[in-house]
Structure 1
Amino acid sequence: MRVLVAGREGQVARALVARLADHQVVALEPPELDLTDDASVAAAMARARPDLVVNAAAYTAVDKAEDQEALAFAVNCDGAARLAAAAADAGAPFVHFSTDYVFDGLKGAPYLESDAPSPLGVYGRSKEAGERAVLAANPRSVVLRTAWVCSPDGANFVKTMLRLAAEREELRVVADQHGAPTFAADLADAVAVMAPRLLAAAAEDAAFGLFHLTGSPHTTWHGFTAEILAQAATRGHRQPRLQAITTSEFPTRAVRPVDGRLDCSRIGQVHGITPADWRQSLARCLDTLVANTPTRDTPTGPAKENSV
């Protein structure tokens, strides 16, 4: 199987390259693959001649998007649709990652794929528009909504908490935003499981369309942090005090959904994929990170790099 992955240095892209190592994988990012440029996309497709295209590239700076709306839409909507259309022209199925930020978080229960999106900010609007554009451009597309993405690579919440735990006596973390951590390796596993059916299926097959996939069980940023600190302590890291705060005590430029829980039952029914226990995935991530100390400075609220 020949696979073109849009994105190379991102968390999900790196996990995909590792998981699909037995296949012919070409992972590209600008300038080799610029989703905002028709010629660049065409050249990348001609080079890779893919059987499957996976879009792991996105504009994910949630707060900056409020002031960079045109750029967010150029990548997350127009660029994603451009790549999906190119995949369709090549006869290749397309996998695209989206986010819980397409919802406003006011449902009070986990969101189904059939629930109407209602994004609160530019980032969420750009991703929701991208979902519609991708499905219109390539009927053999899977749009995979996820949330709170972490891995041993890149900048993310786990690495930030480890660094702050080494620096501070107390961490103050938001406890009234609900969701589920999702590890990039588990998303890559899901793509690998889906791939054989996607390659063989016609557009009308139930294998295509919208799906939700996050880790399990649901938690809060505070609950996630508590587990990070507890597991890190067993690996020799210091454990500071952890204090719960409210969203109002941690203001951000963009409004986040307070309850972005996603119902992941459909992907189990259609593809046989069960959400991974993020606590076990966290343990594997920490085993990789145990000798490293993250250096990027990020606030103690939701990390800006969590979404795709």
Structure 2
Amino acid sequence: MDNLDFFERLYKGFEAENLITGRIFACGLEAFKLPADFGFDLLVSNQFELLKASQGTAPVKVRSTAFPYVLQVKSRWTGPLALNESNRYEVAVEFFVNESEFAKITSSDSAFLVCVIFLPAQSGELLNRPILFWADGPWLKCARGCGYLLPHSINGNALLKLTLIYRSNPVVSAAKVLGDLSNEMFDATCKALGKVVLPELEATFQQLAKNKAKSLAGTLPVGYRTKEYLSLRRPKLDFKAGSRDGTHTVEKMLAPTQLDLQHLGCGEKFDQFDDTGGAFIDKWGTEKFV
């Protein structure tokens, strides 16, 4: 049974690595599976970018980190998403990195961690949906310095835990949308007719709304300016003591650039993601939670 569990994890890991390989190629870079376990899964080069540059085509991205890159790919499959108080479907996903992996990633500006979340297919969808987050070594070192990666133990193994939170666009009950519309139409009709409200008319409108709701999804997206997003969770920080609050947490939304591999190596600034965490590091350094 233990061997079967091992191969189950191994094959799922291959799925994530091949997904990232395909997306790397889609970005105009090249990705290759490393032939042995060097602590990284993929090697990334930019030969196509160099070819285009040699023919006078300016690179699409200005990358602050030199090639080749190496990637450590972590993946998780989530269970069903829960509807939160803000009417968003959400799930918290925990990723684990051991100290050796963390040391290798943070020892080079050309090393990256890539976390892949496979969200379950929703009602009416054909397949599960992968989303990702990437970070370079210097960014991760800062993230650990203000509590985004905290010590964690599983079966006696010392690990670092990183918690990503996915939240969907807000949704609203389809029955509520149509029910509200029915009431508005009924009120407008009554005003136009200038007559006493007829119970039969109201009942007819409500029944029409209920019948229509049966042909729609249970919930509908709302808001033109809302968006789904990924955030990272850390403890609340005590600047005076240089410690963490064990009972309160803070979440910070990740920039879209860190959810898209075309920006790999473009030098994301940690303090632009979390200025409070950056200020904590400026005061206490990056070793407080080591």
TM-score (norm 1): 0.27
Q: Which has the higher helix share?
A: 1
Q: Higher strand proportion, which one?
A: 2
Q: TM-score, normalised by structure 2?
A: 0.28
Structure scoring higher RCO (CA < 8 A, sep ≥ 6) equals 1
